[in-house]
Structures are given as C-alpha cells and as structure tokens.
Structure 1
Amino acid sequence: MNSTSEAYPIVSRHAANAAGRDFVVGDLHGCVDALRYLLREIVFDPACDRLFSVGDLIDRGSQSEEALALLDKPWFFAVLGNHEEALCLVAEGIMRRSVWDGLGGDWAQAVPERVLRDYAKRLRTLPLVRVVGSGPKRFNVLHAEFFGDDDALDVGVFTERVRQQLLWGRELALGSGIAERQAGLSPTYCGHTPMREMGRIGAQIFIDTGAFAATGKLTITEALTPRAWSVSVEQAVAEGARQMSLP
C-alpha cells in the first residue's frame, strides 16, 4: 500500500454541493438492483446530485462487477471498504483466495487474474476518507469507524492500527468504543456493521442495513438531513429494478 498511498490521497476533499443534493449509500455488497430502484425513488439527478458510498461495493450479493462499474460514474464517490481491501490483497498475492471466499469473494473465481489485478489497481486509488463541505455543512464518509476529531481526520496520517479501524473496526457499533472520543468530529457516515435501521452513535451515522441479507435492505440518506430511503433486493426486483437504467 505504501506506493499507492503516496500517489493517491488517503483523505479526499469535496466542496459543498451548491447546485444539487448529496446522498450517502450504505454497503452495496453487489446489490445494484436495489440501488437502481432507490435512485429512481429519490429522483436522482446526475447533472447536479452526488452519491457517496461508505464502501463494500462487492461480495455476497450477485452483482459485484456491476457495482465496481459504478466507480466510472462521474456522480459516484466511494471510499475503500474492507471487502475492496480483501480483493486488492488477493490480487497482490498477500491474502489467500480461500480467506476472501469466506468473506463472500467467491464470485471472483470466474474472473481472470488479469481482470482482478485491474480491479485492484482501480480500487487502490480510492481514499479511506472523504470530507465534504466545511463548517456546519461539513460531513465525513468512511467505512468502519474513527476515533478523533476533524483535525485528526484532515491530517490523513494514520497509524496501521487506525487504518485497520477505518476498514475493519466495530468497537463503537458493538458498544465497546467510547463515543466521547469523537468530540469535534463532524457527522460521519459509515457502514461495515449491519444495523436493523440507520442510526447514530456519537458522531457516526451507521447506514449499512444489510442489503445482501434475506431480511436486509439497502439504505440511502440525504446528507445532513433525516431523510432516508430503503428497499430490499427482493422488493426492488419485484418492482422492475432490473429494467431500470442507472444514470
């Protein structure tokens, strides 16, 4: 990761959206049909609206490669999730395929090694954090969890332990993390740990509602508002999502 961390920002910054709306979507996990449905529900306008992703685009669902194709959309902005990290580690020869299979990466068994390496190269350009806006209009997007304030996040120099927390951490979600350690942190959207409903702990807003699970759903929220929309893959497909086009 050292060479890529020098070439690409660990923290990406975005100006506030003065022309349209900003949305954040939970862990996709290959459930693109649910995303198609929700984008229609929110009347998403690709000319001025933006969609930020908390990562974990791939694995477990049936449309991982379609989810990876979202990275080429000019309105789509993702951070690296632990499942993308797993793909990269396999492609780089660091993680065994069997370990990734256990995380839901078995869809890639049919993907040629060359293509997998291309995916990894693209994913290594993703930041760990996205910071949007400033002042009271600021929000952050990351995958799992972060303990610290905006200033610490902005510096973007993370120890390996903090990097692992950003990708894999569950202390806050499981009740063993101290929310007060997030004093001075702007509203921060994250996923990683599936929740029954979108909810907030400390500064962090958890929006992974288990899209890939039989009883789960995909959730999109309009940033810095209480508005949120959710749908299960089953319902989305029943409503004709597979015939809907992405913006």
Structure 2
Amino acid sequence: MNTITTFSANRKGRDFVVGDIHGHFKLLKSLLVHANFSAEQDRIFSVGDLIDRGPESLEVMNWLAEPWFHAVRGNHEQMLIDCVSGQGDIARHTRNGGAWLYELAATTQHELSNALQKLPLIIEVDLEDGRKIGIVHAEAPLLQDDDDWQTAKDALSGHFGEDIRHRALQTALYARGKIEQQNNDLIKGISRLYVGHSTVSSVTCLGNVVYIDTGCSFHDGALSLVELDADTATCVTMRP
C-alpha cells in the first residue's frame, strides 16, 4: 500500500487543494476556469473521494493520468478496491453511490481498482516559504493525545505493527472525531492539514486542520478549491 507521497515546492506556478469531487468532474473543470488554472504551471491536490454519487465517476482515470493532478485515497476509493477484490460490501457501496461501477465490464472494474490502489494515503507538499502542508482524506491518524504528525505517519506506515497500522488506516479514511468535538488543538509537526470526508457548509478551520468537503454531491452543496500559498478559496455551487 502506497502510504505517503511528497512533493517539493512548486517554483513555477500555484498549488491548489480541492474537496471531495464525487464524480462531478464537469464541476471541477468549471472551478479550474474560475481559478485561472494553468496546466503548464499549476498543480491540483485532492483530498480523495473522487468517485461515486456523481455522473462522471469513470472520468477519474483521465484525471489521474494528468501529470498535474494528484489525490489521496478516500473511503469511496477504498470501498471500490474492497468490492472489486471480493472483500467488500457491494450492497453498502451501491447505497453510497457506487451503483455505476457494477454496470461496467469486469476488466474495467479491475482497471479502476488497480489505478486507485496506487493512490497514497497521505500527501505532503512543501511551500516556498518553508511550510509543510499535509493532505489526508478524513482525519490525521493520531491514535493518542500526544501523537505528532511524524508519529501518525509512522503508525500508518506500519512501524508500530499491523494492528496499529489498521487503526491508523481507519482513522485516515473514516474518522470524524475532531470535527464532531469541535477540537481546535494543533497537530504538531505540520503547518496545515487539509481534509475532506466531513461535509461542511463552507471551508472550515479547526486548529491547523482545514475541512474542504463542501458537499458537491448534494443539491445545495458546492465544490471548493483552496490555493495553498494564498490561503484563498474558490467555490462553484451545484445550484444552476
């Protein structure tokens, strides 16, 4: 399993992080136009959940092929991987927007699974001013109150054994504890962490964790894009 991918500072353009896309790639295209995105200079980082619920989930293959588009694995990617491997709950996946997958040929399902298995669980991005930005789908895999970012990465990488790695994986993909508790504690060892998974009405900051899933899979939601250096957000709503 690919755990962590790191990126050096982008010295020729801008870096953006985008919320849960959920198969709304036309909305993403519109958002990039609004942000004056340049494929020659800029980069896009995704907090995961690229697929399910929206009408263009299959387009994920085209986006992952772009050299400027990078994503972490979300729980919806994990559901697809598990179901294609025969270890998942197909009925649960279908209820959560995955019905499109089972209309595809088995060979295409396996191609999707293989591509999504390559996604890391964590992305780290260096900024030109020396700050380090983290990206994970749901929540930093902190298993104890005094854990820092490096300890969380070590847990997810299996340095402390398989049981702890599994707990860290579940936290990274599914947890909502910090936002449910409105916990403003800082995560030590990282300048800022961007997450999705938990739907918020607008881009929301708790401590140094930024929640950017603004619910584009819902009729009253939006897809949000944050420019990392400028710390500014651009949104496109689902409403016409």
What is the TM-score when the length of structure 2 is the normalising length? 0.89
Distance (Å, rounded) in 2 between the aligned partners of 1:65 and 1:234: 23
Gaps of 5+ in 1: 236-247
- Tell me the equivalent position of 1:39: 32
Alignment of 1:84-99 (within 5 A): 84-99=77-92
Matched, 1:151 2:150: yes
Of 129, 134, 139 in structure 1, the residue corresponding to residue 133 of structure 2 is 139
Deviates more, 1:189-198 or 1:226-235: 226-235
Cα-Cα RMSD: 1.7
Matched, 1:78 2:71: yes
Alignment of 1:1-247 (within 5 A): 5=1, 9-133=2-126, 136-146=130-140, 147=142, 148-155=147-154, 156-158=156-158, 159-175=165-181, 178-180=183-185, 182-235=187-240
Contact 2:152–2:168, Cα closer than 8 Å, also in 1 = no
Structure 1 pair 40–16 and aligned structure 2 pair: CA distance change class (3 A): same
Give the partner amino acid of 1:219: S
Structure 1 pair 212–68 and aligned structure 2 pair: CA distance change class (3 A): farther
Distance (Å, rounded) in 2 between the aligned partners of 1:79 and 1:56: 9
Contact 1:28–1:67, Cα closer than 8 Å, also in 2 = no
Give the partner amino acid of 2:167: R
SS of 1:56 mapped into structure 2: coil
Give the partner amino acid of 1:152: T
Compute the displacement of 1:157 (Å): 2.0
Give the partner amino acid of 1:202: G
Distance (Å, rounded) in 1 between the aligned partners of 2:217 and 2:51: 10
Distance (Å, rounded) in 2 between the aligned partners of 1:139 and 1:76: 16
Distance (Å, rounded) in 1 between the aligned partners of 2:7 and 2:130: 15
Compute the displacement of 1:154 (Å): 4.7
Distance (Å, rounded) in 2 between the aligned partners of 1:198 and 1:220: 9
Give the partner amino acid of 2:95: G
Compute the displacement of 1:68 (Å): 3.6
Compute the displacement of 1:179 (Å): 4.2
Q: Higher helix fraction: Structure 1 or Structure 2? A: 1
Contact 2:135–2:193, Cα closer than 8 Å, also in 1 = yes
Structure 1 pair 162–154 and aligned structure 2 pair: CA distance change class (3 A): closer
Contact 1:84–1:123, Cα closer than 8 Å, also in 2 = yes
- Could you list the per-position Cα deviations for residues 52-94 of structure 1 after superposition, in whole angstroms to 9, with x for gaps in the alignment? 0000000111111113421111100000000000000000000
SS of 2:202 mapped into structure 1: coil
Contact 1:31–1:233, Cα closer than 8 Å, also in 2 = no
SS of 2:197 mapped into structure 1: coil
Give the partner amino acid of 2:235: S
Give the partner amino acid of 2:120: P
Contact 1:139–1:224, Cα closer than 8 Å, also in 2 = no
Compute the displacement of 1:111 (Å): 0.9
- Tell me the equivalent position of 2:161: none
What is the TM-score when the length of structure 1 is the normalising length? 0.87
Distance (Å, rounded) in 2 between the aligned partners of 1:182 and 1:226: 18
Gaps of 5+ in 2: 159-164
Provide the aligned length of Structure 1 versus Structure 2: 227
- Could you list the per-position Cα deviations for residues 108-159 of structure 1 after superposition, in whole angstroms to 9, with x for gaps in the alignment? 1211111111111111111000011167421011100013423224545252
Structure 1 pair 136–153 and aligned structure 2 pair: CA distance change class (3 A): farther
Give the partner amino acid of 1:87: L
Distance (Å, rounded) in 2 between the aligned partners of 1:118 and 1:228: 33
- Tell me the equivalent position of 1:245: none
